[in-house]
Structure 1
Amino acid sequence: MKKVELVFIPTPGISHLVPTVEVAKLLVDRDERLSITFLVMKLRSDPKKPNVKEEVSRLVSRSESSPGSPTIAGFVLDMFCTSMIDVANEFGVPSYIFLTSSAACLGLQFYVQALHDEQKVDLTEFKGSDTELVMPCLANPLPAKLLPSVMLNKEWLSFLMTPTRRFRETKGIMVNTFEELESHAINSFSNGNTPPVYPVGPMLNLNRDGDGDGDVESDKFKDIRQWLDDQPLSSVVVGHRFLWSLRQPPPNGKMEPPIDYTNPRDVLPEGFLDRTANTGKIIGWAPQIDILGHPSVGGFVSHCGWNSVLESIWFGVPIATWPLYAEQQFNAFTLIAEMGLGVEIKMDYRGEFQLDGDEYSIVSAGEIERGVRCLMELDNEKRERLKEMSGKSRTVLENGGTSSTWLGRFIQDVMDHIHD
């Protein structure tokens, strides 16, 4: 039996790297013919294409010179690594994409690229606009003001358009979603105008604090868990009872990971910790999987990053949307309008990382209160829908599930393209 090798080149950011590792693990578990090599580039460094090229050259030479070595079957690239398609082409190797965002977000990228390249639409005119955009990947019109900030800024739009154009050169696109969650968006790719799209998710790292061999529960989570254990079932929002992960934003204009405050009292209203001592807990970094999986948690005030959306659905925890940047406003819209699985705090909020030097908007206490009340008093219909989708998210990767079937189809297509 001939072995084949896929070379994964992810973006090293944790929100991209974790689901990429999970899909790679699933692939090698699924088919014993497959092996996988990861080539991880460093952030904030010189372009690494020459180094990647040398490594790929070594892998290809090994494959060709040694009968027992696996055949290089393809590159699997992150959306921000599409320049590596040139390297793959040079060695005659097919390229694929693993998209860590939603299927609707992929459809949005193709739609905006067509507006920009084919219809010559100036997308910056949509900034703050009430225009509603009708696109194939959505069942409902999208208010243009919810477009990602990068699409409303000329400089950053060109940065986004390049990888989207290059998606069309690949043999296929795996997406971290599942058919039951985004059926409309996934069906919109069936017209043959894009490479094949494979919904293979949800790709989640569900390891809990202290799960590893010989690991013990960290002191930080032990304190959080003990507090959660004391709360009634489904009463805490991550207000009613609350658990607040409060962290410092990155410096203005920089995209860096947040860090914990040395002393939260320095940024909270005077007396806040004393007034809320019996109903709330302020923490820094949060082990999100452990918290969402705790039975006392009844809601999640979230920035709507796609990984967080998938984790909330997995655990059946409803979201109150408070997006910040990237495609999070769009995710908030799809979560509420397309899926019916969340409630709004402020869907068009943009914060922390401003592309045009815009002033920060303020979310009022009234808006937060209304959103949290709606979240914790969610009607039975939405809770049942969320419970149903949670169950589906846990079965789609089982034998015979939709994502399992799509994963098998991807593997078969990889094998078929080896000698194209």
Structure 2
Amino acid sequence: MANMVAKLVFIPAPGLGHIMSTIEIAKLFVNRDQRFSITVLVIKPPTSGSGSTITTYIESLAKNNTDRISFVELPQQEIAPPTDSKGPLASFNEFIKSHCKYVKNIVADMISQTGSGQVAGFVIDMFCTCMIDVANEFNVPTYVFFTSNAAFLGFKFFIQTLNDERNQDVVELSHSDTEITVPTFVKPMPTKVFPTVFQTRETVDFVLSAARRMREVKAIIVNSFLEVETHAIESLSVDNTIPPVYPVGPILNLEGGTGGGKPLDDDVIKWLDNQPPSSVVFLCFGSMGSFDEVQVKEIAHALEQSGMRFVWSLRKPPPDKKSRDCHDRLRGFWSGFAGRVFRANGWNRESHWLGPTGGGTGSPCSWRVRVPLWVELVVGEFVINAFEMVVELGLSVEIKLDYKKDSFIPMAESVVVPAEEIESGIRRLMEDDLVRAKVKKMSEKCRSTLLEGGSSYAYFGSLIQDLITNIS
């Protein structure tokens, strides 16, 4: 048993956050148990949509193979443009499916290698459920790595149940002005916080299909932990129609760097170290979080009026947008802050930045951080994450929970949040002692849950045992 090797095949979605989270959980496996060997199959973004940060990071992976974690880049595929009959999400789904044949060939080679260990399972991203079919061909169990939180996982399953078993028109429901009771939430959820993907038939069908496929897997690994989402996790555990859920988070890249470089630039660290404790607002809106010029200027004016110190990771929008030169137009704006701003270009994961000086952050509500979150300007499922953080858990301050912006729905209405509302949210965040006390208490639980004796440590041990039993 001690010499047995259990091979795992990891398949992340082609997004920087998804790839980095996948690598972090792979590290957990090999550090926790010497029997695991992991191959990460990397899907490259299509050339038409690949960002330089993602490309650089992917290129760095092959240089960082370890004894028990290796990276294989799959051949680059193009994504078909949306048509009248096929929208952006359907095109994305077909793009992921186009890699199945390469995965099949690689896994077949792995299995044919005698004496190298047995494939114990596929660990696939929540957006790669088509890979379940490949795993089934080899009679190998599939585990989904759900990179969002447990409450949203339950929401997806609940919406699928409403549609499939109760004949509820989900699109109609998302456009209504009402509240619904979702099992993984304690408080009623207003339909205004439904993500925009629930507002069209094409995008709803994509979400429903993914939820149905996730019911087929052996188990679901969630980047969450019991202490922060007690109700949601317990709700999922008593539903026998849902596969076992392993909350093993928070899974974070605490070493920094996205391209194999140093964790953080020395000048950034030096600047942060010179700021008073809990005094810096950090703004980062994720790998897809770019805004038009009007909204960027509203954020800038809010920061100017607030008088707060801040770090802004200002990501350039795609080159086809008119606001691509917005950064250049803001040059004069930066000069008026007299040492209370450090501007970071590109996207930086929140965990790289938040230390003792961190006071608050404007982010896509990735709740796994150590300071109060400024919830504003969110996309996709982050609207529901914001609802959980603000209303359900009281760990954040609301600016605008019904903001609608979604790159998968070209005609989705996007509301400009004015500087006055943003400034008010910043001030409430930095001055709300109750929220800050709650976050401090939760941060302590966040750290302890990963240690021996903690809930995530225990769940991860159970997950390992589940995987090992797949080896005959």
1:329-408 correspondence to structure 2 within 5 Å? 329-351=383-405, 353=407, 355-379=409-433, 381-408=434-461
Match of 2:334 in 1: 273
State the distance in 2 between where 1:16 and 1:132 align: 31
Match of 1:247 in 2: 315
Change (3 A) 1:290 1:195: closer
1:73-97 per-residue CA deviation (whole Å, 9 max, x = no partner) reads: 1111111111111111111111111
Match of 1:151 in 2: 198
**What amino acid is the match of 1:276?**
F
Please tell me whether the aligned partners of residues 16 and 100 of structure 1 are also in contact (alpha carbons under 8 angstroms).
yes
Change (3 A) 1:207 1:331: same
Listed as ranges, the gaps of 5+ residues in structure 2 are: 47-76, 79-97, 283-305
Find the partner of 2:253 among 205, 208, 211.
205
Match of 1:325 in 2: 379
State the distance in 2 between where 1:14 and 1:356 align: 22
Match of 1:169 in 2: 216
**What amino acid is the match of 2:277?**
L
State the distance in 2 between where 1:397 and 1:231 align: 29
State the distance in 2 between where 1:133 and 1:376 align: 32
State the distance in 2 between where 1:96 and 1:83 align: 12
Match of 1:256 in 2: none
Deviation at 1:166, TM superposition (A): 0.9
3-state SS, counterpart of residue 39 of structure 1: strand
**What amino acid is the match of 2:202?**
E
Listed as ranges, the gaps of 5+ residues in structure 1 are: 254-258
3-state SS, counterpart of residue 42 of structure 2: coil
Please tell me whether the aligned partners of residues 7 and 38 of structure 2 are also in contact (alpha carbons under 8 angstroms).
yes
State the distance in 2 between where 1:176 and 1:162 align: 22
Tell me the TM-score normalized by structure 2: 0.78
Query: 1:264 and 2:327 equivalent?
Result: yes
State the distance in 1 between where 2:258 and 2:118 align: 38
Deviation at 1:277, TM superposition (A): 2.9
Deviation at 1:144, TM superposition (A): 0.8
Change (3 A) 1:16 1:217: closer
Aligned-residue Cα RMSD (Å) equals 2.5
**What amino acid is the match of 1:289?**
S
Compare 229-238 and 84-93 and name the one that shifted more: 229-238
Query: 1:301 and 2:362 equivalent?
Result: yes
State the distance in 1 between where 2:320 and 2:462 align: 45
Match of 1:222 in 2: 266
State the distance in 1 between where 2:20 and 2:135 align: 23
Find the partner of 1:61 among 112, 116, 125.
112
Match of 2:101 in 1: 50
Please tell me whether the aligned partners of residues 281 and 309 of structure 2 are also in contact (alpha carbons under 8 angstroms).
yes
3-state SS, counterpart of residue 221 of structure 2: strand
Change (3 A) 1:262 1:231: farther
State the distance in 1 between where 2:326 and 2:414 align: 24
Percent identity over the alignment?
Answer: 44
Change (3 A) 1:273 1:84: closer
Match of 1:99 in 2: 146
1:104-140 per-residue CA deviation (whole Å, 9 max, x = no partner) reads: 1110110111111112211222344321110111011
**What amino acid is the match of 2:7?**
E
State the distance in 2 between where 1:360 and 1:252 align: 18
Please tell me whether the aligned partners of residues 265 and 273 of structure 1 are also in contact (alpha carbons under 8 angstroms).
no
3-state SS, counterpart of residue 35 of structure 1: strand
Please tell me whether the aligned partners of residues 97 and 174 of structure 1 are also in contact (alpha carbons under 8 angstroms).
yes
Change (3 A) 1:25 1:209: closer
State the distance in 1 between where 2:34 and 2:470 align: 18
Please tell me whether the aligned partners of residues 345 and 368 of structure 1 are also in contact (alpha carbons under 8 angstroms).
yes
Please tell me whether the aligned partners of residues 3 and 70 of structure 1 are also in contact (alpha carbons under 8 angstroms).
yes
Please tell me whether the aligned partners of residues 404 and 413 of structure 2 are also in contact (alpha carbons under 8 angstroms).
no
Change (3 A) 1:283 1:76: closer
Match of 1:124 in 2: 171
Match of 1:75 in 2: 122
Match of 1:86 in 2: 133
Match of 2:294 in 1: none
State the distance in 2 between where 1:164 and 1:122 align: 16
Deviation at 1:57, TM superposition (A): 1.3
3-state SS, counterpart of residue 185 of structure 2: coil
State the distance in 1 between where 2:278 and 2:401 align: 24
Tell me the TM-score normalized by structure 1: 0.87
1:307-346 per-residue CA deviation (whole Å, 9 max, x = no partner) reads: xx21x2xxx2111101421101011001111221110111
Change (3 A) 1:91 1:383: same
Number of residue pairs matched by the alignment: 394
Deviation at 1:208, TM superposition (A): 4.0
Query: 1:178 and 2:225 equivalent?
Result: yes
State the distance in 1 between where 2:312 and 2:9 align: 40
Deviation at 1:189, TM superposition (A): 1.3
State the distance in 2 between where 1:279 and 1:57 align: 56
1:335-364 per-residue CA deviation (whole Å, 9 max, x = no partner) reads: 111221110111111236261513421111
3-state SS, counterpart of residue 469 of structure 2: helix
Deviation at 1:251, TM superposition (A): 5.7
Deviation at 1:265, TM superposition (A): 4.7
Please tell me whether the aligned partners of residues 94 and 418 of structure 1 are also in contact (alpha carbons under 8 angstroms).
no
Deviation at 1:190, TM superposition (A): 2.0
Deviation at 1:236, TM superposition (A): 1.7
Change (3 A) 1:155 1:231: same
**What amino acid is the match of 2:42?**
V
Deviation at 1:418, TM superposition (A): 3.8
Deviation at 1:396, TM superposition (A): 1.1
